[in-house]
Amino acid sequence: MDNKKKVNLSANFKEKIEPKSQFQKKSIPGVKKILAITSAKGGVGKSTICANLAAAAAKQGFSIGLLDADIYGPSIPDLFNISEKPTADENKIINPIIAQNIKLISMGFLIDKNSPMVWRGPMVINAIKSFINNVNWGELDCLFVDLPPGTGDAILTFAQELKVDGSIIITTPQKLSITDANRGIEMFKKTDIPVLGVIENMSFILDKNNNPSYPFGKNGAKELCKKQKIKLLDKIKIDESFNDCVEKGLVFENLSKDIKIQFETIAKEILN
């Protein structure tokens, strides 16, 4: 008799992420809009795009916050070149750090930069809840949330706790990234969070005669958007000016002019 059983792993996905409807989820008082920036895969430029979108929006006069929910790999402190630690008031409400007119909070402000984060899921969930509930966000037109890559605890906590108005997916055109982006879109559909669109980053590179080449493939995001019936918000080229921003710790200002205009246009579109 063959007594081998098939391995059947199931996380009962529906039960795990669908207990609350959008009506039961809470908003943050004073915050008009919450937008999640997500990538499904690491290294595609999600934090870079999130920081530049936030800065482009702040530059246009919107009051903006940025919550770095990438607990294991927070990039926001480095992107804004911040080493100071936030303070808290007598009720333990954390005052965000302000840089380039943006209110910022990140786990990177609170931990030692050189220590690895060895937190388990429940600790991550508590940190995220604290960033939602215990930060003095004040009045904001929009709170951008830089979500960690993947579909793990941090994202599910957000999806369950907070009334997120929309998500923006960042991907490269490469198949590896597109497959994961597709999975991310499916997750947002299940959690009732509208996907506002996709930004294809590292889409192409221009040579000195302005001829494009496509090191990560061509049209990956276009085909994803067609399949999912969502909008391709824009394509951002590979450009050295992103490195200038990192070197100088001043997002947006040091970008090439054409890319600045792209971020301003996307910011306007998603905030209106």
The tokens describing 254, both together, are 């040091």
- Burial of residue 78 (CB within 10 Å: 0-12, 13-18, 19+) is middle
d(CA 177, CA 44): 8
213 or 243: CB nearest ligand ADP: 243
Per CB under 6 A, the list member of 67, 162, 221, 236 interacting with ligand ADP is 236
Per CB under 6 A, the list member of 20, 25, 32, 42 interacting with ligand ADP is 42
- Burial of residue 187 (CB within 10 Å: 0-12, 13-18, 19+) is buried
Total residues interacting with ligand ADP, rule: CB under 6 A: 17
Percentages (nearest 5) of helix, strand, coil residues in the chain: 35, 20, 45
d(CA 217, CA 172): 9
The site string for ligand ADP over 66-105 (x = CB under 6 A, - otherwise) reads ---------x------------------------------
Q: Determine the interface stretch with ligand ADP among 36-44, 83-91, 94-102, 218-226 (rule: CB under 6 A).
A: 36-44
CB 174 within 8 A of CB 238: no
Query: Helix 46-59 and helix 257-271: axis angle, to 10°?
Result: 80
The distance of closest approach from Cβ of residue 58 to ligand ADP in the complex, given in angstroms and rounded to an integer, is 18
Per CB under 6 A, the list member of 48, 157, 191, 262 interacting with ligand ADP is 48
Map the footprint of ligand ADP across residues 99-158, applying CB under 6 A: none
The site string for ligand ADP over 241-270 (x = CB under 6 A, - otherwise) reads -xx--x------------------------
β-pairing verdict for 102-106 and 97-99: antiparallel
57 or 169: CB nearest ligand ADP: 169
Name beta bridge partners: 112.
none
Per CB under 6 A, the list member of 31, 38, 39, 52 interacting with ligand ADP is 39
143 closest CA partner among 129, 157, 156, 162: 162
The distance of closest approach from Cβ of residue 44 to ligand ADP in the complex, given in angstroms and rounded to an integer, is 4
3-state SS class at 197: strand
Q: Residue 201, interface with ligand ADP (CB under 6 A)? A: yes
134 or 243: CB nearest ligand ADP: 243
Per CB under 6 A, the list member of 36, 40, 44, 76 interacting with ligand ADP is 44
The distance of closest approach from Cβ of residue 24 to ligand ADP in the complex, given in angstroms and rounded to an integer, is 30
β-pairing verdict for 166-171 and 97-99: unpaired
The distance of closest approach from Cβ of residue 118 to ligand ADP in the complex, given in angstroms and rounded to an integer, is 20
Amino acid, res. 175: K
The tokens describing 113, both together, are 């930069």
What are the residues binding ligand ADP (CB under 6 A)?
39, 42-48, 75, 201-202, 236, 238-239, 242-243, 246
